[in-house]
Structure 1
Amino acid sequence: MSNHKLFLLRHGEGAWNKENRFCSWVDQKLSDNGVLEAQECGRLLKEHGYEFDRVFTSILSRSVQTAWLVLEAMGQEWVPVTKSWRLNERHYGALIGLNRAEMAQKHGEEKVKLWRRSYDITPPPIDESHPYFTEIYNDRRYNTCDVPKEQLPRTESLKEVLDRLLPYWNEVIVPEIKNGKTVLISAHGNSCRALLKHLEGISETEIVGVTLPTGVPVLLEMDGGLRPVKPRQLLGDPAKIQAAIKKVEDQGKVNASNK
């Protein structure tokens, strides 16, 4: 029997999603389409009669902005929103800013898929010569973290995302859920995938095939021990969801025009 409902949401389309670039920890606002995705998500949740008690986001603007737009569309702007770097997108290291399709052409689609979707493969680390190094590590939002700035990651595998996410999940979010709160986590493709792997017991090989489209809420119904009692549900029109999943998966493929 389902005792708890948890909603995971990958933020709406960002500017670099649209440009097919590795965005990661570079702070980007939502694209015009991303704004619409977040608003439509909120309307969908409202139509289903869902109500949130707590919302958790990363400290990246596209995640926070998505949460705001969802709550506004639901008429629930008052719901408390808590932000943590531990829900940030995966740190893609030296790949940040690069175009996925161009990388697939240069390194092969399988290599790019491993970089994007694998569990324990880590991209090359970012260093001070990288064009976005200063923008990321001089951003004062990272002065608010619960670890010193010099201990923040310079690259991450999905496993490392889960490692830094789990303490926050266990210590901050889980008590809220167990106290009967309905929680929305507005985060990123990889922080949501990492949490799904943990909650659903997805294997290291199977997680490669898990793709979350932007702006589509994922409902997990769980028992008192926070174990899923049924498969995750992606809410919305099934045809649109499948098209959105294919769009994400195609980002790591060589464009026909570039072959």
Structure 2
Amino acid sequence: MDRKWLLNVAVIPLLMSSAACTQSAATQVGTLELRANGEDFIRQGFTSKDGWQIEFDHVYADIQDVVAYQAAPPFNPDTDVEIAAKTNVLLTEAANVDLAEGDATAAPILVEQVETTAGRYNALSWKLISEAGPALVVIGTATRDGETIPFEIALNPSLEFFCGDFVGDERKGILSPEGTANVEATFHFDHLFGDIDISEEEVLNRGALGFDPFAALAQDGVVNLTPEDLEIKLTKVEKLQLADIYKGLGHVGEGHCRAEEI
């Protein structure tokens, strides 16, 4: 029997097996999207706890070092345990996002897409910080009793959020091979201004500033405040409230995050 023929017979299955393994490995990758969401509070506006109708033109947020994790065991942000991940992926090193972009029904903002290992991404971390200026700039108008006040409020939290699984109407972060899934950094601005549609005794409203403290700092009918202005002009109690509000801004849908100062 021809040795060359026997060699071919032996090699062909090996090549086929190798090709199958390569193909199998290649299909274990999908596209993971990072989205940022200011929710309907930002897209549609809302009424603050003290009765100001707030409408937003722009809400700029600087986010950095956004990482998605396949955490095992699932991460609980209400503990001081670190995220234990069998897989993680850097979604973006830095991005400036306008959370008010689009109309009232716009989808959460697409920040970045990456090709990464398939699986369930059930934890997320990111930094809300900026080295070049304020991390948050909130621009819009507030109206009450026929008075309208344009505002631009620059806020400068310096925090890192560590979040567990997304909580909402549907699961997020479940990435199938060759598929597309998304994870979401959610911002809850009702924590800043409060919400007239819930009781004033609710924890959220007790902690929120409302718009009155900002309106009191208007000049010529306009609120234009830098982080330095807030440090100087807010009362001690208001500044303590604002520090706590910063820590409550970051969520994953309705899922909580642990906030740590940087």
TM-score of the alignment, normalized to the shorter chain, above 0.5: no
- 1 or 2, which has the higher helix percentage? 1
The structure whose RCO (Cα within 8 Å, separation 6+) is larger is 1
TM (normalized to structure 2)? 0.28
Q: Which has the larger radius of gyration?
A: 2
